[in-house]
Amino acid sequence: MTLKARVLQLWESQSESIAQVGLIGDDTGAIKFVSWSKAELPLIEEGRSYEFENVVTDSWQGRFSIKLNRTSKIMELEEDIEVRGQEVETVGALINVQDGSGLIKRCNECNRMLVKGVCAIHGKVEGIYDLRIKAVIDDGISAQDVLLPREITEQITGITLDEAKSLAAESLDPSIITSKIKEMLLGRYYSVRGPRVGRYILVEEINPTKPDLGEIKQMLEQAEAIHDGFKTPAAVDSTAASGEAPQVGDDNGSNGPSVRQLFRREVARRVFAQEFRESDLAYREGDDQYAPRYLLTPTGAKCNRGLLVGTLTEKDDISTESEYWRARIADPTGTFVVYTGQYQPEVTQALASINPPEFVSIVGKPNTYETDDGDIITSIRPESLSIVDTDTRDQWVLEASRQTIDRLSGMQDGDAECARAVEHYATDMGYYKQMVIDALHSMERTAVKTINLSKA
């Protein structure tokens, strides 16, 4: 195969067998390349464009790359290959630190991550230590996988590779680094920038973000402008109202989820406690037992997963046998109830160690339970829990307000998902509009206090 591309990044080679490794791209995207030392090819430079002849394609865990060997040729081009969309920037909460993060070892020959000291290509090798973070940045609308290399990981955590190796050696457990990363980053808001490769953004820059309290006035105006009525679309599938979801078609119009739908990560929705507590419409999409389960809220938030940030006000170990904790998390509108036990050991341990009151961020799945009297109790089954600061709480309240306003506006516009919610709940738009207004007014008071303290 022959292709023309511009060199976007050159990475430091960790093996004598690799002459150069990095990222090249054209107007269709970007791809990793490896040039083997034995090929004795000319070295290429970042920012320059080349024709790569007789390259070999390779795939590892769904990620494609190209290899340059003895039969390959490299010729520099006078033209500058245009690379569209290689730079991506996204802002959101870091809601998940994936497996393969922290202190890892790579193969001396091909740079692949070792699993229990074994490379999938070269077998058992000594390996070279590296530090990285694979995570998910979520803005409540979409979820984006991100990959932080060693330099960026060191910057955002303050832990160097040498310090990570020392900590792991002292504790006899490399996973202590992953635990520290989760403790420092989970639930907090960041802006990340870098090229998109496959499903990942390769992060070149990451910065914590601050809440913009100047948005409060504009959001209050938007909330006040919402009318207390909604439009019904010409045709609304009412199956969701009965607890069943319509079938999801693939890209060709046939029934069943597409590959993209099967492997996407569900977004963590932002819903206030008041609305969440009043939600009771749970259903699965499809008949498969592994089909995702959703909770549809009165304003039309379709929740498979949620992010909540608030004040941990109380916690109780309610089991007489093994640990089983119930916690209450307050936001400006009400209280979330959270249950965690032996099947969420990290969360259970974290909750047990926190002394209320404390601001916490929780990512978790909605859970519904029907009592003997027929009442529906809605709670959160947490996937992660971490202590956060005031800025994170404020940013979440602004985000939850904005997205609730958007859903209420969707009801006015005749959005089908919102109409299903109205059909089931007989949603009182004025009631939830006032909920948002009250939450924003509470933020106004917070902003005034912050300004007064800064002047003191």
pLDDT in tens, 94-123: 999 999 999 999 888 777 788 888 887 788
Same-domain pairing of 184 and 294: no
Helix axes 175-185, 150-157, angle to 10 degrees: 60
Query: Which residue would you say has higher pLDDT here, 15 or 245?
Result: 15
Final residue of a structural domain among 161, 180, 208:
208
pLDDT at 22: 84
pLDDT in tens, 61-99: 456 788 999 999 999 999 888 876 567 889 999 999 999
User: Measured between alpha carbons, how far is 120 from 402 in angstroms, rounded to an integer?
Assistant: 46
Same-domain pairing of 272 and 135: no
Same-domain pairing of 249 and 234: yes
Structure tokens at 29: 């995207």
For the chain, helix, strand, coil in percent to 5 are: 30, 35, 35
- H or E, element range at 368: strand 358-370
Q: Is the residue at 337 inside a domain?
A: yes
The model's confidence at residue 255, banded by pLDDT at 50, 70 and 90, is: very low
User: Measured between alpha carbons, how far is 374 from 76 in angstroms, rounded to an integer?
Assistant: 73
pLDDT at 415: 67
pLDDT at 115: 86
H-only helix segments in 234-303: 259-263, 273-277
Q: Is the residue at 427 inside a domain?
A: yes
Cβ neighbors of 108 (< 8 A, separation 6 or more) are 14, 15, 122, 125, 126, 127, 128
Per the DSSP assignment, residues forming a β-bridge with 143 are: 138
Report the 10 Å Cβ neighbour count for 40: 9
pLDDT at 453: 42
Same-domain pairing of 110 and 172: yes
Q: What is the mean pLDDT of the chain?
A: 85
Q: Is the residue at 418 inside a domain?
A: yes
* Residue range 195-202: mean pLDDT, rounded: 78
Structure tokens at 262: 């099967």
Per the DSSP assignment, residues forming a β-bridge with 23 are: 9, 32
Sign of CA dihedral 371, 377, 382, 386: negative
Helix axes 390-412, 429-455, angle to 10 degrees: 150
* Burial (Cβ within 10 Å: 0-12, 13-18, ≥19) of residue 263: exposed
User: Measured between alpha carbons, how far is 399 from 140 in angstroms, rounded to an integer?
Assistant: 8
Same-domain pairing of 109 and 236: no
Same-domain pairing of 275 and 374: yes
Structural domain of 98: 87-208
Same-domain pairing of 302 and 190: no
Structure tokens at 339: 């249950």
Q: Is the residue at 390 inside a domain?
A: yes
At 93, phi and psi to the nearest 5?
A: -90, 140
Sign of CA dihedral 289, 295, 300, 303: negative
* Residue range 271-294: mean pLDDT, rounded: 89
Look at residue 426 and give its three-state secondary structure. Answer: coil
The model's confidence at residue 235, banded by pLDDT at 50, 70 and 90, is: very low
Q: Is the residue at 81 inside a domain?
A: no
Same-domain pairing of 67 and 96: no
What is the CATH classification number for the domain harbouring 58?
2.40.50.140
Whose CA is closest to 306, among 95, 20, 32, 63?
95
Percent of the chain surpassing pLDDT 70: 86
Same-domain pairing of 281 and 320: yes
Amino acid found at 398: L
Final residue of a structural domain among 208, 232, 251:
208
Task: Map tokens 């199956």 to a residue.
Answer: 239
Q: Say yes or no to pLDDT of 242 above 80.
A: no
Same-domain pairing of 288 and 230: yes
DSSP assigned state of 436: H
Cβ neighbors of 185 (< 8 A, separation 6 or more) are 94, 97, 133, 135, 156, 157
Q: Is the residue at 456 inside a domain?
A: no
Final residue of a structural domain among 49, 76, 103:
76
Of 215-219, 322-326, 416-420, give the lowest mean pLDDT range: 416-420
Amino acid found at 423: E
Q: How far is CA 319 from the centre of its chain?
A: 32
The tally of domains found in the chain comes to 3
Q: Are 377 and 338 in contact (CB under 8 A)?
A: no
pLDDT at 15: 67
pLDDT at 168: 94
pLDDT at 440: 95
pLDDT in tens, 302-343: 999 999 999 999 999 998 888 899 999 999 999 999 999 999
Look at residue 94 and give its three-state secondary structure. Answer: strand
Same-domain pairing of 235 and 328: yes
Q: Is the residue at 395 inside a domain?
A: yes
Q: Is the residue at 82 inside a domain?
A: no
Same-domain pairing of 446 and 374: yes
